[in-house]
Amino acid sequence: MRDEEYIENLERRKEDQMPIVLTPAEVMDILDVGKNTMYRLLNTGELRAVRIGRSWRITGDALEEYLLMK
């Protein structure tokens, strides 16, 4: 296997394994909701997310789960 093929295969595997991570602003655009609603969803746990320092991050899986509940 050539180095180029190896690197391409490695990148493809990374994309398959790495979760999509979104910011609250990106999710606000997707859901078409305001800032207050977004942070209410995060603070109540209705939309699963993790807090890193003062920042929230939402995985693509958590967003999909929320959309399926609605």
Tens digit of pLDDT for each residue in 32-62? 999 999 999 999 999 999 999 999 999 998 9
Q: What domain range is 32 assigned to?
A: 20-69
User: How many domains are contained in the chain?
Assistant: 1
- Stated pTM of the model: 0.74
Q: What is the mean pLDDT of residues 17-46?
A: 93
Tell me whether residue 5 is in a domain. no
Check: CB of residue 32 under 8 Å from CB of residue 64: no
| Element holding 16 (H helix, E strand) | helix 3-17
Q: What is the mean pLDDT of residues 1-27?
A: 79
Return d(Cα 47, Cα 51) in angstroms, integer.
12
Tell me whether residue 58 is in a domain. yes
Tell me whether residue 1 is in a domain. no
Q: Would you say residue 26 has pLDDT above 60?
A: yes
> What amino acid is encoded at 55 in this protein?
S
Higher pLDDT: 18 or 21? It is: 21
pLDDT at 1: 54
